[in-house]
A and B are shown apart, each in its own frame.
Chain A
Amino acid sequence: MSKQLPIILASHGPFAQGALECAEMLMGKQEKINVISVSVDSNIDELRKQMQLSYQALNEGDGVIILVDLMGGTPCNLAGELVIQHSDVLLFCGFNIPVLLEILNNRDGTREEVKSIVEASFAQSCFDVSQILTAQVEPSTEL
C-alpha cells in the first residue's frame, strides 16, 4: 500500500469516534488515524498533551491532517496551537462524513493536494484554519 498521510479526528463528545466508525463501515478498516474526544470533564492540559503526542506519534515526515468539528471549540483551539508551532499541519474545521470519505480516498497524495480537494468540494462548510490563524489583528486600546 502506498504511503498515507496520517489523520487526527477531534471533536466534542463522541462525534469523531462515530465518524471514524461510519467511514470504516463504508470503506473498511483505516490505518494511521487517532481520535480525540473532548468530554465535559476532560482536563485541558491532558487534552493538549494528547493532541501534541498524537501529532508526534503519527507524523512520518510528511505532516498530519487534523479534522475538527467546530471553529473556535477546544478541539480546534488545541489543533490550532499545532498549526502555529509546526508548518506541516493541515487543519480543517467543520468536517463531515463526505469530507472525511473524500480525504480517506485521497490521502496518498500531498497535504497541498488534500487541501485543494477539500476546498474544491466543501468550501462553504469546511475550511482551512491556518488562513484564519495567520490573519492580522488590528491593535486597539479601547475596551
Chain B
Amino acid sequence: MPINVARIDDRLIHGQVITTWVKNYDIEQVLVINDKAAADTVQQSVLTMSAPAGLKVLVFGVQQFIEIIKKTPIKKRTMLLFTNSVDVDTLVAGGLEIEKLNVGGMRMQDGRRSLTRAVSVTPEEEQAFKNLIAKNVVVEVQMVPKDPVVLLKTLLN
C-alpha cells in the first residue's frame, strides 16, 4: 500500500502541505480523514477544490475510511492527513498500516498541554500516541521537511 506520508495537521491541507510535503514526495492524492471535515460540506468543497491542479483530494470519516481500506487497495502515491492522534490510533486498530507518523500541528486549545510550539495533547491524545509507539509506529514531530525531526517519545514523560 503506497502511503508515502501520514501526517497529523489540524489545518489539514494548507500552505505548508502544498508547498513542501506534496512536492517533496510527489504526492498524487491527499486523503483527509476527519469526521468533522467529512460532515462539513463547506470545508470539504474548499479542501477538494483549492488543491493544486493534478492533486486529487478526498475527504472521509474515520469509520468510513476503515471500511474503505478493507475493500479498496491504494495505488496512487498518497498522503494521509489527520487532525489528532486518537483518530490515527482508531484507524491503526481498524487495520490501517503505517510505519511512520509525521506530526505537524495539533495547536493549543482547552484541555491540551503543550509539547512543542505547534503540538499539544489532551491526556487521551497522549495515550493514543503511546499506543501507536507501542505498536512500533515511528512518531516524528516535524513541521516542514527541512526542519529537524524530533521523536515524539522524547517529549512524553
Which A residues have a C-beta under 8 Å from some C-beta of B?
12, 40-45, 69-74, 76-77, 80-81, 84-85, 129, 132-135, 137, 140-143
Contact = CB atoms under 8 A, between A and B. Distances in A.
A72 B14 contact: yes
Contacts of B18: 70, 72-73
Given A44-B10, A81-B43, A73 B49 contact: no
Query: Chain A binding site: helix, strand, loop or mixed by DSSP?
Result: loop
Contacts of B73: 143
Given A77-B50, A133-B50, A41 B13 contact: no
Contacts of B109: 43, 45
| Nearest 7 A/B pairs, CB to CB | A73-B15, A80-B46, A74-B14, A43-B107, A143-B74, A72-B18, A72-B50
A121 to B, nearest CB: 23
B91 interface: no
Contacts, number: 80
Contact of B50 (A43, A45, A132, A143): A132
B14 A73 contact: yes
B31 A77 contact: no
Contacts of A40: 105, 117-118, 143
Contacts of B43: 81
Nearest to B45: A84
A77 B46 contact: yes
Interface string B1-45: 000000000110111001100000000010100000000001101
B145 to A, nearest CB: 15
B78 interface: yes
Contact of A70 (B15, B31, B56): B15
Interface string B98-112: 000000010111000
B80 to A, nearest CB: 11
